[in-house]
Amino acid sequence: MSLHYLVREPKTSIENPPLLILLHGYGSNEEDLFSFAQELPDELLIVSARAPYEMGYGGYAWYAINFDEINGKFSDLVQANESVDKIASFIDELKEKYNTNPEKTFLLGFSQGAILSYALSFKYPNKVQYVVALSGYINEELLPKEINTLIYTDYYISHGTVDQVLPIDWARKAPIILKSFNLESDYSEYPVGHGVAPQNFYSFKNWIEKRL
């Protein structure tokens, strides 16, 4: 497999299980979001992927975030695009290995993982049907020049109103951008920082359950 991962097999015997892939944030690892797995629907095959770039101390990144005095903070877009391609290949490998339901693929990303989930849904139209974007934003520099108008992906978006890492204003643009491509999204905000509040967890769990 092209990425290291943890897996929770479906708790119920199911021939072609729906697939949920978890993409962690910058400086974290595959164990972070995997803590959600036990609480999510039994029929899901849940896979938590580890980002390819090692940062030391058990932390990994999907792409480098560089800091300099002139530009402030900026993302390594070459690495980001390479990671999108890696994730796309990884999804294909998982579908084949576990014989998942091709019509029910969910991609859940937190922060950097959410940014890449958005990018992948545009670069590889309909490879995933559902995106759960937690505490992220749409980086338009990662979107293809020509947007395929036949994308049917459905989006769940949430963000903390006091997020000190990625400002809430960045997240608020996402539903507007998606609407411009006639894409549906379910957007919510919570009075937290850069993290997932318990009520936020139950909200996206409910959203996923309705789409199984």
Q: What is the pLDDT of the chain when averaged over all its residues? A: 95
Could you read off the pLDDT of 133-190 as tens digits, one per residue?
A: 999 999 999 999 998 888 999 999 999 999 999 999 999 999 999 999 999 999 999 9
Q: What's the pLDDT score for residue 211?
A: 97
Q: What's the pLDDT score for residue 121?
A: 98
Q: Assess whether pLDDT exceeds 90 at residue 73.
A: no
Q: What's the pLDDT score for residue 74?
A: 76
The residue ranges of every structural domain in the chain are: 5-210
Share of the chain above pLDDT 90, in %: 92
Q: What's the pLDDT score for residue 65?
A: 86
Q: Assess whether pLDDT exceeds 70 at residue 70.
A: no
Could you read off the pLDDT of 28-43 as tens digits, one per residue?
A: 999 999 999 999 999 9
pTM above 0.85, yes or no: yes
What are the residues facing 105 on neighbouring strands?
A: 19
Q: What's the pLDDT score for residue 69?
A: 66
CA distance 8 to 2: 18
Q: Assess whether pLDDT exceeds 90 at residue 72.
A: no
CA distance 161 to 65: 23
Nearest to residue 176, comparing CAs of 135, 140, 134?
Answer: 140
Q: What's the pLDDT score for residue 144?
A: 94
Asked if 137 and 194 count as a contact pair (C-beta separation under 8 A), the reply is no
Could you read off the pLDDT of 6-22 as tens digits, one per residue?
A: 999 999 989 999 999 99
What average pLDDT does range 63-77 have in this prediction? 78
What average pLDDT does range 98-125 have in this prediction? 98
CA distance 206 to 32: 21
- The class of domain 5-210 in CATH terms is alpha beta
Q: Is 130 left (phi over 0), alpha (psi -120 to 50) or beta?
A: beta
Asked if 91 and 109 count as a contact pair (C-beta separation under 8 A), the reply is no
Cα 199 to Cα 20, 37, 121, 190, 195: the distances in Å are 20, 16, 26, 8, 12
Q: Is 183 left (phi over 0), alpha (psi -120 to 50) or beta?
A: beta
Q: Binning pLDDT at 50, 70 and 90, where does residue 71 land?
A: low
